[in-house]
Structure 1
Amino acid sequence: MTKGTLTVIVVSAKGLKNADDVGKSDPYVRLWLDDVDSQRTTTKVGTLDPIWNETFKFPITHQNKLHFKIWDSDAPEKEGKDDKLASGSIDLKNVFEKGSEEKTHELTHNLGFSKDGVITFKLTFAPSA
């Protein structure tokens, strides 16, 4: 069983779909491992090509996938009804074996026929002694 610390840098996204009627989306990313330890980036206002470069650490005890959702933060008058822009998961097997990996994940819908941009992560894993 793999144990240690996973470090995730949410680098950037490009070509996100626009969920707003006026202006551009205000994207942020929520990350989690097997429904535990949900963490999120800051919101980048008015962009479809956000740059975050934010770092998160997750303890690994048995998990093998990093899950993410990209959301469009809506104005407070909408009472927190943020719109989902994209979602996905990353198999961690390569980062466990190699120690690090840069992963650009293509965002799609309609069974992969429509593209919604890409998101880039840098992943590193430090096993427990």
Structure 2
Amino acid sequence: MVKGLLTVTVVSAKGLRNMDDVGKSDPYVRLWIDDVDSQRTTTKVGTLDPVWNETFKFQVNKQNKLHFKIWDSDAPEKEGKDDKLASGSIDLKGVFEKHNVEETHELTHNLGFSKDGVITIKLHFEPAVAS
């Protein structure tokens, strides 16, 4: 059984899909581990190449995947109507073994037929000390 602290840094994305009339998107990333402890980055306004460099911590207790969705934040009057830009997941087995991993994932939509840029995420795992 794997237990410990997973530190996730959402570094950046490049080449995201344009979702706004002005040729840009307002992206943010929502992260979670197997439906536990959802967290999100700040919104970067008016860019298809956002840089977040934001770090999040997750307690791991047998979970084995980090999931993420990139959303385009819409105007406040359309709250709850944000558009999904892309999604994906990272199998944590390699992170549990190596402890430090940097992943760059190609983003797709339309069942994988269209490419929508890449996202870079750094992961660090600190196993719990057995008592």
TM-score range, shorter chain: over 0.9
Secondary structure, in 3 states, of the residue corresponding to 1:32?
strand
Distance 2:108 2:23 in 1: 22
Match of 1:127 in 2: 127
Identity between Structure 1 and Structure 2 (%): 84
Distance in 1, matches of 2:118 and 2:34, equals: 22
Look up the equivalent residue of 2:51 and give its one-letter code.
Answer: I
Q: Which amino acid aligns with 1:59?
A: Q
Residue 79 of structure 1: how far off its partner (Å): 2.8
Taking the aligned partners of 2:71 and 2:110, their CA distance within structure 1 comes to 18
Structure 1: 5+ residue stretches without partners: none
Deviation at 1:22, TM superposition (A): 2.7
Structure 2 length-normalised TM: 0.95
Partner secondary structure for residue 28 of structure 2: strand
| 2:12 alignment counterpart | 12
Q: SS of the residue aligned with 1:104? A: strand
> Runs (4+) of structure 1 moved beyond 6 Å?
none
Instruction: For residues 27-51 of structure 1, give each alpha carbon's deviation from its aligned partner in whole angstroms, at most 9, with x where no partner exists.
Output: 0000001111000000000000000
Which residue number corresponds to residue 81 of structure 2? 81
Give the unaligned 5+ runs of structure 2: none
Looking at structure 2, the residues matched to 51 and 64 of structure 1 have their Cα atoms a distance apart, in angstroms, of 26
| Corresponding residue of 1:67 | 67
TM score, norm. by length of structure 1:
0.96
Secondary structure, counterpart of 1:18 in structure 2: coil
Query: C-alpha root-mean-square deviation of aligned residues, in Å?
Result: 0.9
Residue 38 of structure 1 aligns with an amino acid whose one-letter code is: S
How many residues get paired?
A: 129
Provide the residue aligned with 1:43 in structure 2. 43
Determine the C-alpha separation between the residues in 1 that align with 2:28 and 2:66. 16
